[in-house]
Amino acid sequence: MNIEDFHKIIKNALNKGPSAYDFINKESINCGEKNQFCKDLAALLNQIKEAYECTKKLSEGNLNINCSKTNFFAMPAKNLQSNLNHLTWQAQQISDGDYNHKVSFLGDFSEAFNKMTESLKEKDALEKRLIEVLEEKATTDSLTKIANRSKFNEILTHEMERADRYQNGLSLIMLDIDHFKKINDTYGHIKGDETLKRLAEIVENNIRKPDFFARWGGEEFILLVPHTSLDNAAMLAEKLRKLIKTSKQPVDCKVTCSFGVTHFKKGDTANTFTERADKALYKAKENGRDRVEITK
């Protein structure tokens, strides 16, 4: 191919677009040994074609382009490739929950992307809060705001496993408001509810952080006391009994409680452990109420 033919092909390429550059892969350009201008022009045309192919791949979503580092025409495509690769990495980080990523190198797209990230961050925070609320509702007694029976059973299983493994002592206290039906009948259910809340408040304010207190059901409560002997648990129960009896109450009468105390034995199940505390509580009721009884 001589220079005149080459010139015609260039004009055709300018008129019809880069598809006309395909001739480079099909024909050799005979510029002659001394025609440096023709050689340079052919090299220039090859660089333009390479830049076009790189840009075309990027527009199709292919980020694995490989343009020559010395190709001046391909530099914008390579810069875009670098930005898109970084954007892909940022999108992956955001999908993994890291919303501390901002885009600043893609003009209007950056603003839209950053707004999307903020929206996702707010939505994620809302979902997490919703999960927390649902978990709280599932594990908290709605009236007294202490743990419910379901949550207590979960903690009980865990503490029994620890006590069985390390032999570190675990006691259980069950308590019940004496004549609670009479309180409801005399003062009404609203005052009855306030009495339950007051009892929960008194106990919560007079136990240790490791102790776990929950509403077992109705006017019955349960207290798990880790690292505590049976005698010390009985002393704690007696202390709580006196506090409840002498504390100010929302009803115009003395509020008393009966207590049943027991200690974890090797081989106990959750049922045998709680049943033993319940038997001690029943004994306290039978023996006149407002007292602490122990079942070993």
Catalytic residue among 127, 154, 161, 219: 219
Calculate the alpha carbon distances from 163 to 59, 213, 225, 265 in Å: 65, 18, 11, 9
Judged by DSSP in three states, 153 sits in helix
Tokens for 258? 């009966």
Amino acid, single-letter form, for residue 236 = L
Judged by DSSP in three states, 222 sits in strand
Pick the closest to residue 175 from 204, 154, 138, 133 (CA basis): 204
- Helices assigned H by DSSP within the chain: 3-16, 23-26, 36-59, 75-95, 108-139, 149-166, 180-187, 189-204, 230-246, 270-286
Beta bridge partners of 221: 175, 215
Residue 136 bears catalytic tag? no
Catalytic site positions: 219
